[in-house]
A and B are shown apart, each in its own frame.
Chain A
Amino acid sequence: MKTGIKILLFTAAACGIFVLCVSAGSVFISPFRIPEILSGGAGSVEYRILVDLRIPRILMALVVGASLSVSGVVFQAVLKNPLADPYTTGVSGGAAVGATVAIAFSMSYFLVALLAFGGSLCAVSFVYAVSRYRGLSGTALVLAGIALSVLLSSAVLLVFAFSRADYVHKALLWLMGDLSIAKYAVVMRMAVVSLLLTGLGFLYRRHLNIISFGDEFAHGLGVSRGDIVNLFWIASLLAAISVSLAGVIGFVGLLVPHVMRFMFGPDHSRLIPASALGGAVFLMGADTLGRVLVPPYDIPAGIITGFAGGLFFLVLVIRKGGAYT
């Protein structure tokens, strides 16, 4: 079967990229030596590099990439807008304000993440309340999200205006999406939560297929308002935990679902797993590129994904013209 081969090739490519990403970095470690180093014990420098630095960071990229991309798929279906992304609902703006305030008061990583998470939940709740008032329409939701994002980014700049320069720099790095802060304990907890939410989203795959055709269509087929509300919160929570742990990494949730839809078609029973895998690989690749491009500097993953996403959409617009508007 054709799709079967595609999935197989795709998975194989993902594994290949994973191995390359573990090898690549300011110190190149040959893929063939990795098992030997890992079994060799904690003594060697290479072991420390792999276990303490690269692997947690790569795991973080995988989890965050998968979460953002699944969140994007769900939002695009629920909002019936191919340009919706995990941040459409103001998740990133809320998280940015929370994190910036925390950094300006030089709080710990844990508190930064906590405030970011709180901020994004406040933003989502606000957007949800507004769109609920307007009958949960997709357009109202997108517009409320955009309006709130503008307000919140002004709030971030306001905090900057009163902060010390080194804190501003630290906050900016966070805003660009930084995976270098990954820690095993955090990654593992996030992986469990992400997996649960993604699994829940997958159970709704048939709902998502139907919702994509419009509200009245979905209503006529028995999709209830409660189903849509659940999907909204699944997607929002996936985005909120990603952004509060890894910063604002743009375009993953927009670009990956588009590519996956092109490769595997619009059926969400394929689209959700494919996007999870594709998003994971894409962010891992982007982060690795950021690590190896100009050593010893680390380019934050959010910058790489921003460039990739922007270029991708330019090419799309030039090739397809207005077909995507």
Chain B
Amino acid sequence: MNLFTVDSLRAGYRGKEVLHDVSITVGAGEFAAIIGPNGAGKSTLLRSLSGYIAPSGGDITFMGKPVASYTRREFSRELSVVPQFTETDLSFTVREFGELGLFPHRKFFDVGMSSGNEIVDIALEAAGISHLRERNMMEISGGERQLAYIARALVQSSSVMLLDEPVSHLDISHAIRIMDVLHSQNRQGTTVITVLHDVNLAAEYCSRIIALKEGRVFADGTPREVLTYEKVEELFDTVCIVTENPISKRPLVYPVPGFLRGGG
């Protein structure tokens, strides 16, 4: 059964439409990457799926019901969101931060502190940051902090996760650590939909790539279907070479320096 069904979606921000006529479906258990150039509408699509912005046209349904028909609380029990990384100066411990994920599962008047402890422990373990549990969020590295954000999302809902550029500010080693965590979660049944800047990470980890260009779906399929040099060159208006990662046999894209297409 389809988890998300997006039909002729139009969406954007005050007076400016970013997505024009996007139709996709995402099934349970997929690991989908949304790729495309800056301004193509990747974050807008993700935010439409999470209900953060209301569509200006078209329909989005989640498990057969319109996204808008869920209350915030109901919806956030079903799926968790990791928004684009922003620095904060709030000195929670990693564990306290993870506990924020219990929020939609608690009642308004609930005073209990202990319920849900195991869920937090499991999530910290899955993200590989159990050893940091008592550390302050301000003291750990950017990569570790992003892992804490992902653990927090796992506490909230491990059935569906939406992520907006979870690795774009990180070095390769932390990027790989985070993608590995998402990958192993996906194998345990989590549906993962993530915006990615790095097409090669998308190629390595994802079962499906949705490429957006100028607010429309440009290509949609497996990495091997989407990441051909004709498509990638047109998608990014850049001359590229697509080969194959000799270990994983996945497509590998690298740009040719100094060549922009179309006189750009």
Q: Which residues of A contact B (CB under 8 A)?
A: 82, 135, 203, 206, 209-210, 212-214, 216-217, 219-224, 265-267
Contact = CB atoms under 8 A, between A and B. Distances in A.
A216 B81 contact: yes
Nearest to B106: A206
Interface residues of B, number: 32
B52 A221 contact: no
A213 B88 contact: yes
B75 interface: yes
B100 A209 contact: yes
B248 to A, nearest CB: 32
30 contacts: A82-B89, A203-B109, A206-B100, A206-B103, A209-B92, A209-B100, A210-B103, A213-B86, A213-B90, A214-B83, A216-B81, A216-B83, A219-B51, A219-B52, A219-B81, A220-B50, A220-B80, A221-B100, A221-B103, A221-B104, A222-B72, A222-B76, A223-B103, A224-B71, A224-B73, A265-B91, A266-B90, A266-B91, A266-B92, A267-B92
Contacts of A214: 83, 86, 88
B47 interface: yes
B156 interface: yes
Contacts of B84: 216
Given A220-B80, A221-B156, 9 more contacts: A82-B89, A210-B100, A213-B88, A214-B88, A217-B81, A220-B76, A222-B76, A223-B103, A267-B96
A220 B82 CA distance: 8
Given A206-B103, A206-B106, A212 B88 contact: yes
Interface string B224-253: 000000000000000000000000000000
A221 B52 CA distance: 11
A267 B91 CA distance: 9
B77 interface: yes
B73 A222 contact: yes
B101 A221 contact: yes
B99 to A, nearest CB: 9
B77 A222 contact: yes
Contacts of A219: 50-52, 72, 81
Contacts of B91: 265-266
B14 interface: yes
B103 to A, nearest CB: 5
Contacts of B52: 216, 219-220
A222 B75 contact: yes
A217 B83 contact: yes
Contacts of A203: 108-109
Contacts of A217: 81, 83
A82 B47 CA distance: 27
Nearest to B79: A220
A219 B67 CA distance: 14
Nearest to B72: A224
B14 A135 contact: yes
Interface string B143-180: 00000000000001000001000000000000000000
Contacts of B86: 213-214
A67 B15 CA distance: 40
A216 B90 contact: no
Contacts of B80: 220
Contacts of A222: 72-73, 75-77, 103-104
Report, nearest first, the 7 A-B pairs whose CB atoms are least far apart.
A220-B81, A222-B76, A222-B104, A216-B83, A224-B72, A222-B73, A266-B90
A164 to B, nearest CB: 49
A223 B73 CA distance: 7
Nearest to B96: A267
Nearest to A80: B88
Contacts of A221: 76, 100-101, 103-104, 156
Contact of A265 (B50, B77, B81, B92): B92
